[in-house]
Amino acid sequence: MQIAGKFSGDQDIAVKRLSSVSGQGVEEFKNEVVLIAKLQHRNLVRILGYRIEGGERILLYECTPNKSLDFFIFDRTLSVLLDWETRFNIILRIASRLVYLLQDSRLRIIHRNLKTSNILLDHKMNPKISFGLAKIFEGTQTKGITNRVVGTYSYMSPEYALNGFFSVKSDVFSFGVVALEIISGKKNTGFFNSEEALSLLGYAWRLWREDKALDLIDQKLRESWKTDEILKCINIGLLCVQADPDDRPTMSMVIVKLGGETVTLPTPKPPAFILKRRLLGMPSSSSSKPETNLEITVSLEGR
């Protein structure tokens, strides 16, 4: 949960309180504080302080006047303010921030909890990434494994959610989910299509196969969209959420493809998590978890 506040000197701040279901330990919390303190980048949210007292853990961030992306994108009234040009710029800039984290920064950082509520918007609607459960790597290491999966299930890659494996391609998967949510104005969590009972990823995949991809688009964009640009973004989003991490593009390749005037994109393979819930024996609730021996803490808004 995030609320606005002020320091004693009238400085605006954002106060972020860990959700009671996040399951994050003290050391993980301190890791987040140290991580953000080390990363002085204008497009990453700057941390101002933190507090640990009993079961309460709170972070103090720089204030972003337009709150988080989910505050706009999933609101019927506020989403009108995000025309296609604004949404495309947000997608492109999120991708560039991830290239910095995964490739260009001194420390390689796998975010592990990229989602719309962790993308904050400044006064010009430019996105800044805030952190949840990041993992820092030095040198050339690009992957790891954990026996404690913590995060928001609807943004997790299948290899992380089911087996605890995470890598730079895990963040690519999360980016793909975010991109498809921005395009459609719909949440992947709890998405329900009356005919197919699919996830948003499955719905997008079905429309793509049936050559109806434009049906995915948020109808509020009808006055501003650019067909070729939107189809390119849907294609890239679906490439990012492919089930096999080896099939997903790198974020640097995503930047190249997003910025290119004329690009040839491969046909995406089926995404993860597209089976009907009834076939999986899962309830339609957005809090559904995969069966696994791992210790898993699943959150709807997690961080």
Number of structural domains, the chain? 2
* Per-residue pLDDT band at 247 (split at 50, 70, 90): very high
156 occurs within a structural domain: yes
46, 62, 78 - which closes a domain = 62
Whether 21 and 116 map to the same domain: the answer is: no
Residue bearing the bigger pLDDT, 294 or 173 = 173
Give the residue numbers spanning the domain of 10.
2-62
47, 62, 77 - which closes a domain = 62
pLDDT tens, 116-126? 998 989 888 99
> Does residue 236 contact residue 250 with C-beta atoms inside 8 Å?
no
Instruction: Say whether pLDDT at 234 is over 80.
Output: yes
The burial of 261, by beta-carbon neighbours within 10 Å (0-12 exposed, 13-18 middle, 19 or more buried), is given as: exposed
In 200-219, which positions are buried (b, 16+ CB within 10 angstroms) versus exposed (e)?
A: bbbbbbbbbeeeebeebbbe
Q: How many helices (DSSP H) and strands (DSSP E) are in the chain?
A: 9, 12
Mean of all residue pLDDT scores within the chain: 78
Whether 115 and 246 map to the same domain: the answer is: yes
Give the CATH number of the domain where residue 226 resides.
Answer: 1.10.510.10
Whether 74 and 56 map to the same domain: the answer is: no
Give me the sign of the Cα torsion angle 250, 251, 256, 259: positive
**Beta bridge pairs of residue 120:** 68, 128
Residue bearing the bigger pLDDT, 255 or 5 = 255
Q: Using DSSP, state whether 227 is helix, strand or coil.
A: helix
266 occurs within a structural domain: yes
Residue bearing the bigger pLDDT, 172 or 20 = 172
173 occurs within a structural domain: yes
Q: Using DSSP, state whether 110 is helix, strand or coil.
A: strand
Write down the pLDDT at residue 86: 95
Of the candidates 229, 234, 192, the residue with the CA atom closest to the CA atom of residue 213: 234
* Per-residue pLDDT band at 149 (split at 50, 70, 90): confident
Instruction: Say whether pLDDT at 36 is over 70.
Output: no
Instruction: Say whether pLDDT at 214 is over 50.
Output: yes
Whether 92 and 34 map to the same domain: the answer is: no
Of the candidates 134, 79, 95, the residue with the CA atom closest to the CA atom of residue 257: 95
Cα 58–Cα 171–Cα 234 angle in degrees, nearest 5: 120
30, 46, 62 - which closes a domain = 62
Q: Identify the weakest region by mean pLDDT among 22-31, 48-57, 263-272.
A: 22-31
Give the CATH number of the domain where residue 17 resides.
Answer: 3.30.200.20
Say what percent of the chain tops pLDDT 90.
38
Whether 46 and 195 map to the same domain: the answer is: no
Residue that the structure tokens 């089911």 belong to: 162
* Per-residue pLDDT band at 51 (split at 50, 70, 90): confident
Q: Identify the weakest region by mean pLDDT among 74-78, 168-172, 192-196, 241-245.
A: 192-196
Angle between helices 227-240 and 168-184 (to 10 degrees): 140
pLDDT tens, 73-108? 999 899 999 999 999 999 999 999 899 888 777 777
82 occurs within a structural domain: yes
> Does residue 113 contact residue 302 with C-beta atoms inside 8 Å?
yes
- Tokens coding 14: 């954002």
Q: Identify the weakest region by mean pLDDT among 112-116, 123-127, 135-139.
A: 135-139
Residue bearing the bigger pLDDT, 205 or 293 = 205
303 occurs within a structural domain: no
Write down the pLDDT at residue 135: 67
Whether 75 and 12 map to the same domain: the answer is: no
Whether 58 and 79 map to the same domain: the answer is: no
21 occurs within a structural domain: yes
Say what percent of the chain tops pLDDT 70.
70
Classify the phi-psi angles of 302: left when phi > 0, otherwise alpha if psi is within -120 to 50, otherwise beta: left
Number of Cβ atoms within 10 Å of the Cβ of 42: 8
Whether 37 and 172 map to the same domain: the answer is: no
Whether 85 and 197 map to the same domain: the answer is: yes
Residue bearing the bigger pLDDT, 256 or 303 = 256
Instruction: Say whether pLDDT at 140 is over 80.
Output: no
Whether 53 and 157 map to the same domain: the answer is: no
Instruction: Please give the average per-residue pLDDT across 176-192, as a whole number.
Output: 89
268 occurs within a structural domain: yes
Distance CA 122, CA 229 (A): 24
Write down the pLDDT at residue 93: 94
Residue bearing the bigger pLDDT, 161 or 86 = 86
Whether 43 and 115 map to the same domain: the answer is: no
Whether 269 and 237 map to the same domain: the answer is: yes
Write down the pLDDT at residue 134: 63
pTM of the model: 0.81
- Altogether, the residues listed in the chain come to a count of 303
137 occurs within a structural domain: yes
Distance CA 27, CA 59 (A): 14
Distance CA 183, CA 1 (A): 25
